[in-house]
Amino acid sequence: MQIHFWTNDIDRAVRFYTEALGFTLIYSQPDNGPTDFCILQLSDQEVMFGIPPVKLAALDRPDKRLMEMVITRLGQNGPLSIYFAVPDVEAHYSQAVAQGAEILEPLWQTPWGLKQYSLRDMDGQLLTFHSE
């Protein structure tokens, strides 16, 4: 599974996800000019970031409604929380805190056997990182 986030600032997203959360940039486009799409990886999990193509929303395309919704929602919190499994959640938590991530739920031991913590990324997405 891959998760696709829409953002107005891909460079900011890449900095946050690589520096605070330990992701690695594995792909970006175009080769010349400002980045409009990228893929980052953490273990075997990937996230994609794209800039919403505002001009495409004005065209008669099959994805016109999706583009309109993305543009409208950009910068708003959604009802979505995404969970990532990491090998060492304590080290991951320490890295996120040291980089100034907005922690919403501190590291804790859940009754269902996981250690986890949650944060809000630079665009307001809710992310939870956990390990056994």
Q: Please list the pLDDT of the chain residue by residue as tens digits (132 residues).
A: 678 888 888 999 999 999 999 999 999 988 888 888 899 999 999 999 988 766 555 556 565 666 677 777 766 655 567 899 999 999 999 999 999 999 999 999 988 889 999 998 998 888 999 999
The whole model's pTM is what? 0.76
Using an 8 Å Cβ cutoff, are 5 and 18 in contact? no
Query: What does the block give as tokens for 34?
Result: 């400002």
Domain locations in the chain?
2-131
Longest dimension (CA), the chain: 50
Q: Could you tell me the fold of the domain covering 2-131? A: 2,3-Dihydroxybiphenyl 1,2-Dioxygenase; domain 1 (3.10.180)
